[in-house]
Amino acid sequence: MYKLVLIRHGESTWNLENRFTGWTDVDLTPTGVEQAKQAGRLLKAEGYDFDVAYTSVLKRATRTLWHVLDELDRTWLPVVHSWRLNERHYGGLQGLNKAEMAKEYGEEQVLVWRRSYTTPPPALEPSDPRCERSDPRYAKLSPEQVPLTECLKDTVARVMPFWNESMAPAIRAGRRLVVAAHGNSIRALVKYLDNISDSDIVGVNIPNGIPLVYELDDDLKPLRHYYLGDAEAVAAAAAAVASQGKKA
Ligand SMILES: O=C(O)[C@@H](CO)OP(=O)(O)O
């Protein structure tokens, strides 16, 4: 039996301001830092140890990982960064306030933008200053690989090659992985692992900074999964994420 630990980054400045974030590289808030440290402490208290760490190229996930590794006294572990673990790209919504958009366009529309599997938010223009195509961290990608928007299906399509080519082989080789990523890149992995339908994934929300453990069989099929920590607090935190698209 293998174990895989997934952690969504701690609260970011734009989580706090309730803004669509996507590939915008915002940092953690002091609460987010504390959540990340707490995740590390929980893992340590439960006896978890790791051989390799995975994260995105965005600082809210990277710093979350650093705090987790620091608490585990494992700052020396190899860290694999991949843009494929980045948050889902939020297109022209990046930077806009979720509750204000719900007031303007309605909660139903915001739910479609946030959680529809196949409908992406409006795309960014390549000339938009928010477009990441000239960001040096993506210099090795073709322009088309740097999205102008994404629905979750698009995110699944770019996460899965990384799972298949890097993460899954590492797990099969017996390496214990800790992954610090984002709400929607984790939803993409969870959808694949648990074979969740396109409609049921709409209701899945990942709380900030709480380790999500997958126990996997020899074929990397999930035997079970669970969050570490208090179940009620986990449910409340996931419900809070779901309600970010409400009017107030
Ligand atoms: O804004 C975002 O990038 C994501 C994660 O914070 O939000 P949502 O939960 O609305 O997909």
**9 catalytic, yes or no?**
yes
Cα separation, 174 vs 2, whole angstroms = 8
Q: Which fold has domain 2-245?
A: Rossmann fold (3.40.50)
Residue of 23, 202, 185 whose CA lies nearest to 116: 202
Find out whether 65 and 39 touch, Cβ atoms under 8 Å.
Answer: no
pLDDT in tens, 212-241: 999 999 999 999 999 999 999 999 999 999
Question: Is any atom of ligand 1 closer than 6 Å to the C-beta of 15?
Answer: yes
Q: Please check the confidence at residue 129 and state whether its pLDDT lies above 80.
A: yes
3-state class (DSSP) for residue 32: helix
pLDDT for residue 236: 94
Catalytic residue among 67, 71, 87, 150, which?
Answer: 87
Over range 23-32, report the average pLDDT. 98
Q: Is the CB of 149 under 6 A from ligand 1?
A: no
Residues 208 and 223: their CA atoms lie apart, in Å, by: 24
- C-alpha count within 13 angstroms, C-beta hemisphere, residue 103: 6
pTM of the model: 0.97
The dihedrals phi and psi of 223, each to the nearest 5 degrees, come to -90, -40
Amino acid at 219: D
48 token code pair: 């978890």
| CB of 23 sitting under 6 A from ligand 1 | no
